[in-house]
Chain A
């Protein structure tokens, strides 16, 4: 479980996050949604400690990471997997080397065990047989999936995905969403997903916080989204008139 208590973040005196309170539970897909520029990436980077918060506290179970030493932070991080918005693959390494890197670094497993684990996670993201490709030789969506494979290879307790399906077609996007959902349930992971993809919201949104200009504007789950009368949320999720009509039809059906 991760708990945020009044998290603030400013850059050069300009505040980007204005006091975020939230709870992300284990075994659930927690979604952070919001328009481009609303502060999703900054929030996740604060939670994983890449950015220092300007004020507030972030608790992983009972540890307050805003007060943790560098060393404590490093050991906590071995339980964290993260998918970056741009993939952040090591471009001098092959797909396989990217995915096995955490295994090489932190485990004493044998060569064979490592290879098996790599093949296993690559298969989960539908990339079997792509082991020897370089990141420059695969598509954007494939890079994302390699990023996910690398994030989950160590069986993390906490998984952060910054826009796992931006730039993917709706079908692949769903595959990724389901993958994230399954491993969250399977290993009881605390998963936080940044997204502005309305399909993901409906598919896996068990606990959603909606950011608007650096504040939590709304929170709930995918069922509540349909019935909420928050204007900003409605405008964000049901942006097109087509979706607005679809929503009305859905609500009437119930």
Chain B
């Protein structure tokens, strides 16, 4: 399939996913189930990674600032802003593209090759909307929350790193956290999380939904889902950097 055909089919699929559900209650249940799977299920990995990224950022900036003319409290400021502006949203979503993306692609792909999607279609269900809609909704609601958690834990990670090493004083770190705060950065972080969340779930679902063949193609599709959604996230990150700042 050429890239243009893929993009065309992706667009068409997207135009179907928000059509009116056949049964509101079942749809709602499905959204809740997906929120649990995508959101709650990803808390441990996001927490772990964010904590360490925050810690490493703190240690490294501290290392570079020591002995320079930059005041040490800037470490807190740098950790806070890099987490808010870039690391929490981008890294979290790249990790989720791997975890959630491959999961969604293989779940939908299996449903496709074992004819479960056809079985739903036969019942008169709009499968694009019933299967993909709830996943996308769950993602755009829970992923921003995960990103907020990520930013908080990254800053906490920085704090722990500073507190347990003798680089800079904890009070300096805390002072840095309060310095030059621009609430707009939080908005940027949330917009990015929303866009990335949409991209990673919809692209992965797309690759799973249109699998043809058997286990071999399924494997390939799920890899492709992860690669393409990661690339899409990075591209969107670049575009948003221009649009939002």
- Using CB atoms and an 8 Å cutoff, list the residues of chain A in contact with chain B: 45, 48, 50, 73-78, 80-82, 84-86, 88-91, 101-102, 104-106, 150
Contact = CB atoms under 8 A, between A and B. Distances in A.
Contact of A74 (B23, B115, B116, B126): B126
Interface stretch (B7-15, B117-125, B156-164, B173-181): B117-125
A230 B239 CA distance: 69
A9 to B, nearest CB: 16
Contacts of B124: 73-78, 80, 106
B118 A84 contact: yes
Nearest to A104: B26
A101 B110 CA distance: 19
B123 A78 contact: yes
Top 3 nearest A-B pairs by Cβ distance? A77-B124, A88-B115, A88-B119
B22 interface: yes
A105 B123 CA distance: 9
Nearest to B16: A70
Contacts, number: 54
Interface of B: 22-23, 26, 110-111, 114-116, 118-119, 121-126
A84 B123 contact: no
Given A84-B115, A86-B115, A90-B116, A48 B122 contact: yes
B121 A86 contact: no
Contacts of A104: 23, 26
Contacts of A76: 124
A102 to B, nearest CB: 5
B123 A77 contact: yes
22 contacts: A48-B122, A50-B118, A75-B124, A78-B123, A80-B122, A80-B124, A82-B122, A84-B115, A85-B115, A86-B114, A86-B115, A88-B114, A89-B116, A90-B111, A90-B119, A91-B116, A102-B123, A104-B23, A105-B22, A105-B123, A106-B22, A150-B119
Given A74-B126, A90-B119, A101-B123, 9 more contacts: A48-B122, A74-B124, A78-B123, A80-B124, A86-B114, A86-B115, A91-B116, A102-B123, A105-B22
A50 B118 CA distance: 7
A82 B114 contact: no
Contacts of B115: 84-86, 88
Nearest to A79: B124
A195 B38 CA distance: 42
Nearest to A84: B115
A105 B23 contact: yes
B116 A50 contact: no
Nearest to B121: A50
Contacts of B121: 50, 77
Nearest to B117: A88
A100 to B, nearest CB: 11
A202 B114 CA distance: 31
Contacts of B122: 48, 50, 77, 80-82
A106 B126 CA distance: 13
A91 B23 CA distance: 21
Contact of A91 (B22, B114, B125): B114
B179 to A, nearest CB: 50
Interface centre among B115, B116, B123, B125 (most CB of A within 10 A): B123
Nearest to A147: B119
A73 to B, nearest CB: 8
A82 B110 CA distance: 19
B123 A88 contact: no
